[in-house]
Amino acid sequence: MKELTEFSQKVYEAVKLIPKGEVRTYGWVAKKIGQPGAARAVGNALNKNPFPIVVPCHRVVAKNGLGGFVGGLAAKKRLLKSEGYKC
């Protein structure tokens, strides 16, 4: 496996803080890691998430909707609903 960048490591650590059944935006994650304005880079890092069970990237959404998900939006909705989040 390719070694993680420092940026990706920070993104994954921040995402692990999002409680089950809640969501945060890509922008929130960017601010949390001290990189405001890096929401798109956060999305790119999450798109390459090698730890999908440990790092719950499905809990990160766009400011105007669900955003993307490697497994598809239907899978993202299922995961969020299984945690009690109303999509």
Alpha helices in the chain (DSSP H): 6-15, 26-32, 39-47, 73-82
**Annotation marks residue 57 as catalytic:** yes
What are the chain's domains? 6-82 (1.10.10.10)
The pLDDT value given to residue 66: 95
pLDDT in tens, the chain (87 residues): 578 999 999 999 999 999 999 999 999 999 999 999 999 999 999 999 999 889 999 999 999 999 999 889 999 999 999 999 998
Give the active site residue among 30, 33, 38, 57. 57
The pLDDT value given to residue 1: 56
CA 31/CA 44 separation, integer angstroms: 16
Q: What angle do CA 63, 80, 40 make, to 5 degrees?
A: 30
Beta bridge partners of 24: 60
